[in-house]
Amino acid sequence: MQMLQLKHLFKSYHVGDTVTHALDDVSISFRDKEFVTILGPSGSGKTTMLNVIGGLDRYDKGDLIINGKSTKNFKETDWDAYRNNSVGFIFQNYNLISHLSIIANVELGMTLSGVSSKERHEKAIKALTEVGLKDHMHKQPNQLSGGQMQRVAIARAIANDPDILLCDEPTGALDTETSVQIMELIKELSKNRLVIMVTHNPDLAKKYATRIVNFQDGKILNDSNPFKTEAEKDTFNLKRTKMSYWNAIKLSFTNIMTKKARTILTAFASSIGIISIAVVLSLSNGFQKQIDTTMSKALAKYPVAITPTATDMTSMQTRKESDKNVKNRGYVIAKQDESEEATHNNKITQAYVDYVKKINPNYANNIAYQRTTNLNLLGLTNGKAEKVQFSTADPDSNQSIAQMRSQAMSSMGIGSSVFPTTLDKDKGNFLKQNYQILSGAWPTKATDLVVVADNKNTVNINALKNLGFDVKKNSKIDFNKLIGKKFSVVSNNDYYQELPTGMFVPKKATNSMYNSGKKIKIVGVIRPKNEDSMQLLSSGIAYSDKLSQDIIDQNKNSTIVKAQRKTKRNVMTGQNMNATEKKQMMQTIGGSSIPTGIMIYPNNFDSKDKVLDYLDKWNKGKAKKNQIVYTDMSSAVTTMTGGLLNGITTVLVAFAAISLITSMIMIGILTYTSVLERTKEIGVLKALGARKRDITRVFDAETFILGIFAGVLGVGIGYLLTFPINSVIYKLTDLANVAQLNPTHALILIIISTILTLLGGHIPARMAAKKDAVIALRSE
Ligand code: ADP
Ligand code: MG
């Protein structure tokens, strides 16, 4: 059966104006088993013919018939498969891949065609045994002599058991003795395959070959044993080659390992972008966490306040109106002040109070109610009863109690001397959570009072004076003077006296009046728990809402309340009142249990939103005037700082990203250098049947490894940097562990690094794949 047939083949090279006819109408047929040598002067076209036969190079004209099949319509992949399955190449300069071990070099062709590693290994060992190098298989190419290297090349060529062995001056670089050994080996191999060998040693040719072809100027001069063509029958059948990604990665990995220092330096340089982004992210991450915890600590305790009047932000919109023709209108418009227009009067009803009371204690466990209800208080000074009050207003100024109270109330909630009611006792107590005891005990009963000091243990002087203490500026008061101090809350009926005119006036304080009242007592002195925690209660006396409620219960049917209920006229001053004024009056004398203000204390920062949702639900579907507008002071602060940090982070990350682009370009350059360096390897891979895609894959794999390495290195260094950064920040600000690398960010950065380096290296990888195998192999 006939193997190979060349029919009128032409191949010429055009360089400038000169045309070289490397193959000039070559027609020859080969038997499937013979040892053919091709003799001829240098430049006569021998190598060109061998490359064309082996499918490394393309002919211009004519036809090459393989196993009866014309190759005129061969596609690139057909040639690849042909080289990989049927052809083995042996070159003068061995063309071993220096970074692969002997055995790996021999396995390479099979690696490309996706042969399993076990089978590959077995075949490679068999081939190495055949060439007599079994004992050297784990050596590197540079540890072998020239003859040994050529044997390895032969082993690589025959490992896949090809039908055709093409040898281009295999003994050209060897001494006579070694040349003879190699010739013996090739002679042995020609027993069961076609061997075509180019040589310029006629003696060796005559001694070993079964057929000698003389070549000159691209033409066959004579043929010692021509082969007559028989009828052609197409028996061509080839398996497609395919290299797996994994093999590409392994191949590139061994290559990378041969230039460790360079790889590490490159990876480090390209990881700088990743490092800077990692540091920026971990800092911003940490600062955000820091801000969040500080904020939630500081701001969670800010109550959501429902005050008699609130500013409705939604109505604070300025309407734009065309200024045109305004001056010609001939009238002016009465305009309400914008802030006044935005002022919303909250009509707190019993239904609303009940609604607020039903708030989930998991979100807000403490609610404080503000009431303007007068406590008709008496104290004993030196055994004599006198009127006192729980107030921080200056007792010497000439204001009515009601006036003072409403002033204190309207100055934005915080500063109520009524401590919040705890909804669920198991979930902690407001006082204990935010205050510490300086002396005495926590209040347990409605009749227990506490003195509230601030962070510096000071108490408002007016509050003390109003309680009947004779104090001067900066005088020191012993705890035991405060604790145990009793007051009497007198009922309206005992406190007020109805005049014949139907008007009511407070009676003079007497000891019997004192004795008739309900006794309340200071049980402790407290101050805020932390130095930096906010003062939630105003300095002075604090008491429970239960006390107010009890007093309202006691007084709601008192004579003065009953009388006031019936008339629009103020029963104390005689003035006529509007509806609001009457309501206020009723609240003052204990005729109404509806509080003037409510403070809801969210349990933590997150549950505040839930509280707001709950309050918003009340307003849904209600007319504007019946809605209750709350004030959330903490929200403005948080959104502001959060936005600021996000802005800074974005800018910094953008800057850091520039260095990522730099690394990408660097990887591109590195891959390009690698391509130039590995030109020969690309040629060898092609000679062994590698597809363009396989070559791309090998280089992509290399950049892939580099990318992951750079990413991991960058993230690792970034992580390590957080330690010194944190210690510096700690020294400067006392904030511990600010920089924290989020694991998700770390992973994303590694992925980004890998993708970017892949992109950067892909173009050079494509260039490598396009390299002409023949030129690649001729380069040296
Ligand atoms: P041999 O192997 O017999 O020494 P070659 O086949 O290498 O000869 O070369 C045949 C002719 O083709 C020579 O004249 C050579 O200069 C020319 N040639 C080979 N490759 C190229 C090329 N890539 N470009 C231009 N000329 C080439
Ligand atoms: Mg040559």
What secondary structure does DSSP assign to 532-564, as a single string? TS---S-SEEEEEHHHHHHHHHHHTTSHHHHHH
Q: Is 20 in the pocket of ligand 1 (CB under 6 A)?
A: yes
How long is the chain? 780
Task: Decide whether any atom of ligand 1 lies within 6 Å of the 492 Cβ.
Answer: no
Centroid of ligand 1 to alpha carbon of 99 (angstroms): 29
Q: How far is CA 110 from CA 85, 239, 691, in A?
A: 9, 12, 13
Our CA angle for 330, 331, 337, nearest 5°, is 145
Question: What is the overall mean pLDDT for the chain?
Answer: 84
Residue whose Cα lies nearest atom 14 of ligand 1: it is 43
Backbone angles phi, psi at 585, to 5 degrees: -65, -45
Whether the pLDDT of residue 221 is over 70: the answer is yes
Q: Provide the token pair at 648.
A: 């800074």
Nearest CA to ligand 1 atom 27: 13
Q: Is 586 helix (H, G, I), strand (E, B) or coil?
A: helix
Ligand 1 lined by 15 (C-beta under 6 Å)? yes
Domain ranges across the chain:
2-240, 256-298+639-778, 372-572
Average pLDDT of the residues in 625-653 = 74
| Cα separation, 502 vs 11, whole angstroms | 131
Higher pLDDT, 663 or 230: 663
| pLDDT score, position 574 | 87
Residue 569 DSSP label = B
Q: Which of 143-147, 320-324, 393-397, 705-709 has the lowest mean pLDDT?
A: 320-324
pLDDT of amino acid 227: 86
DSSP state of 143: G
Distance 154 CA to ligand 1 centre (A): 24
pLDDT score at 88: 93
CB atoms within 10 A of CB 67: 20
| The pLDDT value given to residue 780 | 58
Least confident window among 427-431, 635-639, 710-714: 635-639
* Confidence label for 321 from pLDDT (cuts 50, 70 and 90): low
Asked whether the CA dihedral 170, 174, 179, 181 is positive or negative, the reply is negative
How far is the CA of 469 from the CAs of 408, 418, 472, in angstroms?
Answer: 21, 21, 9
Average pLDDT over residues 277-304: 76
Q: What is the pLDDT of residue 483?
A: 92
Measured from the Cα of 15, ligand 1's closest atom is 25
Q: In what order do the strands lie in the sheet with 631-632?
A: 421-422, 364-370, 597-602, 304-306, 631-632
Q: Using a CB cutoff of 5 Å, list residues around ligand 2, an ion.
A: 47
pLDDT bracket for residue 410 (50, 70, 90): very low
Q: What is the pLDDT of residue 401?
A: 45
Give the mutation target among 13, 59, 93, 197 for probing the ligand 1 site: most ligand atoms within 8 A of CB.
Answer: 13
CA of 43 to the centre of ligand 2 (A): 7
What is the reported pLDDT for 531? 66
**Ligand 1 lined by 214 (C-beta under 6 Å):** no
Neighbours of 233 (CB within 10 A): 11
Confidence of residue 46 (pLDDT cuts 50, 70, 90): very high
Please report which confidence band the pLDDT of residue 400 belongs to, taking 50, 70 and 90 as the band edges. Answer: very low
CA distance readout (Å), 372 to 224, 308, 386, 548, 733: 127, 12, 21, 10, 45
Q: State how far the Cα of 666 lies from the Cα of 676, in Å rounded to an integer.
A: 15
Distance, CA of 306 to CA of 199 (rounded, Å)? 103
Distance between Cα 198 and ligand 2 center (Å): 8
Across 16-30, 104-118, 457-471, 733-747, the highest mean pLDDT is recorded for 16-30
Residue 22 CB–ligand 1 contact under 6 Å: yes
Mean pLDDT value of segment 172-198? 91
pLDDT at 405: 44
Question: Which residues have a Cβ under 8 Å from the Cβ of 435 and sit 6 or more positions away?
Answer: 452, 526, 527, 528, 529, 537
- Binned at pLDDT 50, 70 and 90, residue 216 comes out as very high
In this predicted structure, the answer to whether residue 488 has a pLDDT above a threshold of 90 is yes
Q: Whose CA is nearest to atom 15 of ligand 1?
A: 43
Q: What is the pLDDT of residues 585-597, one digit of tens each?
A: 888 888 888 888 8
pLDDT at residue 248 tops 60: yes
**Closest atom of ligand 1 to CA, residue 44:** 3
Instruction: Give, as one character, the DSSP assignment of residue 60.
Output: S
Farthest CA pair distance, the chain? 154
Question: Which residues lie below 8 Å from residue 125, measured CB to CB, with a gap of 6+?
Answer: 103, 134, 137
Query: Which whole number is the average pLDDT over 365-375?
Result: 83
Closest CA to 128 of 103, 92, 163: 103
Joined tokens for residue 354:
């009940």
Protein residue closest via CA to atom 13 of ligand 1: 43
- Both tokens of residue 378? 């008496």
Q: Which residues contact 623 (CB under 8 A, 6 or more apart)?
A: none
Per-residue pLDDT averaged across 179-195, rounded?
92
Q: Residue 406: pLDDT band by 50, 70, 90 thresholds?
A: very low
The pLDDT confidence band at residue 676, using thresholds 50, 70 and 90, is confident
pLDDT in tens, 325-349: 777 778 888 877 776 777 888 888 8
Q: Work out the average pLDDT over 372-377.
A: 83
Ligand 1 atom closest to Cα of residue 42? 4
Compute the 3-state secondary structure of the chain and give helix, strand, coil in percent, each to the nearest 5. Answer: 50, 20, 35
398 ligand 1 Cβ < 6 A? no
pLDDT greater at residue 308 or residue 75: 75
Instruction: Quote the ligand 2 centre to 773 CA distance (angstroms).
Output: 15
Q: DSSP label at 183?
A: H
Any ligand 1 atom below 6 A from CB of 46:
yes
Helix axes 692-733 and 245-257, enclosed angle (nearest 10): 60
Q: For residue 690, report the distance from its CA to the centre of ligand 1, in Å.
A: 24
Number of H helices, E strands in the chain: 26, 27
Q: What is the pTM of this model?
A: 0.59
CATH number for the segment(s) 2-240 = 3.40.50.300
Rounded to the nearest angstrom, the distance between the alpha carbon of 14 and the centre of ligand 1 is 11
Q: What is the pLDDT of residues 123-181, one digit of tens each?
A: 999 999 989 998 998 899 999 999 999 999 999 999 988 999 999 999 988 898 999 99
Ligand 1: atom nearest CA of 41 is: 3
Question: Ligand 1 test: best mutation among 26, 42, 47, most atoms within 8 Å of CB?
Answer: 47
pLDDT at position 184 is: 92
| Interatomic CA distance for residues 695 and 698, integer angstroms | 5
Report whether pLDDT(431) > 60: yes
Q: Measured between alpha carbons, how far is 105 from 697 in angstroms, rounded to an integer?
A: 18
Q: How far is CA 757 from CA 226, 661, 712, in A?
A: 56, 9, 13
- Residue 412's pLDDT band, with cuts at 50, 70 and 90, is very low
User: What share of the chain has pLDDT > 90, as a percent?
Assistant: 31
* Predicted confidence (pLDDT) at residue 411 exceeds the cutoff of 70: no
